Amino acid sequence: MNTLTKLTLLLFALLMLTGYSGVITPAHAGPLTEASDSIVSAVTVDVAQEGTYTTLEEFQESPHYIKFIIDNLWILIATFLVLLMHLGFASVESGLTQSKNSVNVIYKNVFILCTGVLIYAFVGFQIMYPGEFNGILGFGGFGIGYDPSDAVGMLTPAYGAEMTIWTDFIFQAMFAATAATIVSGCVTGRIKLSSFMLFGVLLLAIAYPITGSWVWGGGWLAELGFYDFAGSTLVHGVGGIAGLACVILLGARTGKFKDGKVFAIPAHNIPLATVGVFLLWVGWFGFNGGSVLSADPAGVSYVFVTTALAACAGALGSMVTTQVVMKTLDAPMALNGILAGLVGITAGADVISVSGAVFVGAFAGVLVVLSILMFDKLKIDDPVGAISVHGVCGIWGTLAVGIFTDVSLWVQLIGVIAILSATFIFSLTVFGLIKAVWGVRVSPEVESDGLDISEHGNNAYPDFSPVRSSELGAYTA
């Protein structure tokens, strides 16, 4: 073992020791300092007071209206940051795949974002937040649900008056599109565009909002006490497990597995993937920070800190694990480590202690490397590692809330199993039907030529020359 590796391992060990100290102190006991608590008290308004406002004009004249303006503005800014994440996803997915499929990846990401927002406006928002329902399945009606006859109906009663219903919708719509975007990375390079588009629409219209209603809509898991702050399972886990179901039915890319060996199909543009990861990291501050659902200075800043620490620890965790297990200094693995840490902390960014966030991120960084290698051994081809990053690390992050806080670990486990099982069964059934009726895989000739030319009639790089599988390196699975 060289000196660099030893120093890195020492640093990682120190990080782990620091993180371990967070295990014994439940974050619900108070991750915020007394000074922060005083800030919270200073900006908190009694929600009961909001019930006295009978007209919008009356509310606008109240002392609470200034806080409402600030809260609403921050959540809109956070929405913009989550939108920026979709540019990050497009960059990561196209950068980590072959250049002959870059246009196809970009096209899918544009379609999913735009279709996702429209579908969420038409049915998704009212399925996820149906109001009074049986806790399993509800529907508040088509559209966003604003009643113009209600003078204060623009305010979202579920959260008090921190935002308008329009802000609530557009923020949540960006989350919905994220889940289906994750699937895009899993199946890239060999899926028919039409089949992916149909599956993405159905996932966004049915599966995602239904499981979301079980927690964020006040459903049966919320009543049990299941906790997922910003979607380690509800968003990332759903996308990852849906991608796994699709990959199982779709099969691996040609040349990926042969004679018991795994052939590495190299990323065509690691700098582009790097830009994408850092765009995702920046956007994640809106993803998690906006999920505070107010501009509470203590709450938002605390979530920023835990989010950043987990991402950094995730990168180091993956670097060390890659060096120890694979004997390489792999840049894409380090990038996936950042994302793994971010996914891991998303479920408990507001309640896990600072030291606990380091541990959660570091362990996610270790886990993502081992998971990617495991799926290779299982002959499950995930070109960008999305199943591992979002699915496996999403599970870890959700369970970590039950380890690092006083939330029941048993309830967290029930929630993870219920949400991911429902999504997996739905995805396997729907994608299976699409496969039986229309087919889901392009022909070997189309795959060889690249989906850019075959599906879109152009490519991202006019000077493209294909790399044949015989020229690629391999390792034994």
pLDDT in tens, 371-391: 999 999 999 999 999 999 999
Taking the mean position of all CA atoms in its chain, how far away is CA 340? 10
Q: Average pLDDT for residues 409-426, to the nearest whole number?
A: 97
Tokens of 403: 């380890």
Burial class (CB in 10 A: 0-12, 13-18, 19+), 232: buried
Hey, is 475 helix, strand or coil?
A: strand
Of 133-137, 214-218, 390-394, 446-450, the one with minimum mean pLDDT is: 446-450
Identify whether 186 is part of a domain.
yes
CATH number for the domain that contains residue 468? 1.10.3430.10
CB atoms near residue 51 (< 10 Å): 12
For residue 216, what pLDDT is reported?
95
Of 57-71, 75-89, 224-238, 322-336, the one with minimum mean pLDDT is: 57-71
Alpha-helical segments (H) within 266-392: 270-289, 297-326, 331-346, 354-377, 386
Q: pLDDT tens, 97-113?
A: 988 999 999 999 999 99
**Which value, to the nearest 10 degrees, does the dihedral of the CA atoms of residues 154, 158, 163, 168 take?**
-90
Assess whether pLDDT exceeds 90 at residue 151. Answer: no
Task: Indicate the average pLDDT of the chain.
Answer: 85
Strand partners, 164: 155
Identify whether 226 is part of a domain.
yes
Identify whether 49 is part of a domain.
no
Question: Which residues constitute the domain of residue 203?
Answer: 3-13+57-476
The number of CA neighbours under 13 Å toward the Cβ of 270 is 9
Q: How far apart are CA 136 and CA 226, in angstroms?
A: 14
Rg (alpha carbons) of the chain, rounded to whole number:
22
Tokens of 54: 């009978």
* In contact, 200 and 401? CB cutoff 8 Å: no
Tokens of 326: 């694979």
Confidence tier at 63 by pLDDT (50, 70, 90) = confident
Identify whether 27 is part of a domain.
no
Q: pLDDT tens, 302-334?
A: 999 999 999 999 999 999 999 999 999 999 999
Q: What share of the chain is helix, strand, coil (3-state, %, to 5)?
A: 70, 5, 30
Identify whether 220 is part of a domain.
yes
Q: How far apart are CA 352 and CA 268, in angstroms?
A: 38
Identify whether 87 is part of a domain.
yes
Identify whether 19 is part of a domain.
no
CB atoms near residue 417 (< 10 Å): 12
Of 45-49, 56-60, 349-353, the one with minimum mean pLDDT is: 45-49
Strand partners, 474: 263
Q: Average pLDDT for residues 345-351, to the nearest whole number?
A: 97
Burial class (CB in 10 A: 0-12, 13-18, 19+), 14: exposed
- This prediction has a pTM of 0.86
Q: Which helix (H) or strand (E) holds 170?
A: helix 165-186
Query: For the chain, what is the domain count?
Result: 1
Strands 474-476 and 261-263: what pairing?
antiparallel
Of 42-46, 181-185, 471-475, the one with minimum mean pLDDT is: 42-46
Contacts of 335 (CB under 8 A, 6+ apart): 92, 273, 274, 277, 315
Is 21 or 217 the better-scoring residue by pLDDT? 217
**Hunting for tokens 């990375």 — which residue is that?**
185
Identify whether 274 is part of a domain.
yes
Burial class (CB in 10 A: 0-12, 13-18, 19+), 408: middle
* In contact, 452 and 104? CB cutoff 8 Å: yes
